[in-house]
């Protein structure tokens, strides 16, 4: 790649890595897996960077969603660590952000109750603010399927007790 393309890619990574990480975390529900997904998406996009015209964010987002869906199909959920590391990184709370942290955890917990397809639709539609048509194109499905999937997912989220308690209950 040329130096110009390298510099362009570097600017893109600096500007978009945090939003992509937040999006990936909504998809998979785990910060470490989200970091891996973003890294994989960026690694797969880099060799093709000089050929990307228009909206590179759209391409990288597509790669990220494809990696997530591919991993979700192959994931084996019966594996449990025998001796998990005890750390307090996730439990640290700054007084000013405690409410936001609880809300974020409640949303991530509620998203775990959705199917992989529902999570992808909700994350793309409401986190990435894509239209139904854009979401349908990115996921390779009909716009009507996106609409019905989003409707089912939102109905499930409305009934999620953790989300109701933290958002509506006002803890």
Right CATH for 3-74 from 1.10.1740, 1.10.1510, 1.10.3470, 3.90.25 = 1.10.1740
Specify the domain boundaries for CATH 1.10.10.10 within the chain: 95-168
Cβ atoms of residues 150 and 129 within 8 Å: no
Percent of the chain topping pLDDT 70: 81
Cα 38 to Cα 44: distance, rounded to the nearest angstrom? 10
Answer with the residue of higher pLDDT: 129 or 92: 129
pTM for the complete prediction?
0.66
Task: Calculate helix-pair angle for 132-139, 56-74, nearest 10 degrees.
Answer: 60
Could you tell me which CATH class the domain 95-168 is placed in?
mainly alpha
Residues of the chain with CATH 1.10.1740: 3-74
Dig out the tokens for 22 from the structure. Answer: 């937040």
- With residue 30 as reference, give the H or E element that holds it: none
Least confident of 44-53, 68-77, 93-102, 109-118: 93-102
DSSP label at residue 130: -
pLDDT recorded at residue 51: 86
- Measured CA to CA, the distance from residue 143 to residue 34 in angstroms comes to 26
C-alpha to C-alpha distance for 16 and 56, rounded to whole angstroms: 10
The yes-or-no verdict on residue 5 having pLDDT over 90 is no
The pLDDT assigned to 168 comes to 47
Q: Using DSSP, how many helices (H) and how many strands (E) does the chain show? A: 8, 0
CA distances from 98 to 19, 29, 112, 150 (A): 21, 19, 21, 29
- Give the pLDDT of residue 96: 62
pLDDT at 62 over 80: yes
User: Taking residues 93-99, what's their average pLDDT?
Assistant: 61
Q: Tens digit of pLDDT for each residue in 12-53?
A: 999 999 999 999 999 988 899 999 999 999 999 999 988 887
């Amino acid at each position: 790649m040329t130096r110009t393309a390298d510099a362009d890619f570097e600017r893109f990574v600096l500007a978009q890595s945090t939003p992509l990480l937040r999006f990936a975390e909504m998809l998979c529900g785990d910060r470490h897996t989200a970091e891996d997904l973003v890294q994989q998406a960026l690694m797969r996009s880099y060799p093709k960077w000089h050929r990307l015209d228009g909206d590179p964010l759209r391409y990288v987002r597509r790669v990220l969603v494809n990696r997530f869906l591919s991993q979700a199909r192959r994931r084996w959920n019966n594996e449990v660590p025998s001796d998990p590391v005890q750390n307090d990184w996730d439990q640290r709370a700054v007084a000013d952000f405690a409410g936001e942290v609880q809300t974020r955890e409640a949303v991530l917990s509620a998203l775990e109750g959705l199917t992989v397809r529902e999570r992808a639709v909700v994350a793309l539609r409401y986190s990435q603010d894509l239209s139904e048509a854009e979401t349908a194109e990115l996921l390779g499905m009909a716009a009507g399927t996106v609409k019905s999937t989003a409707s089912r997912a939102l109905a499930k989220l409305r009934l999620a007790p953790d989300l109701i308690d933290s958002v509506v209950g006002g803890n």
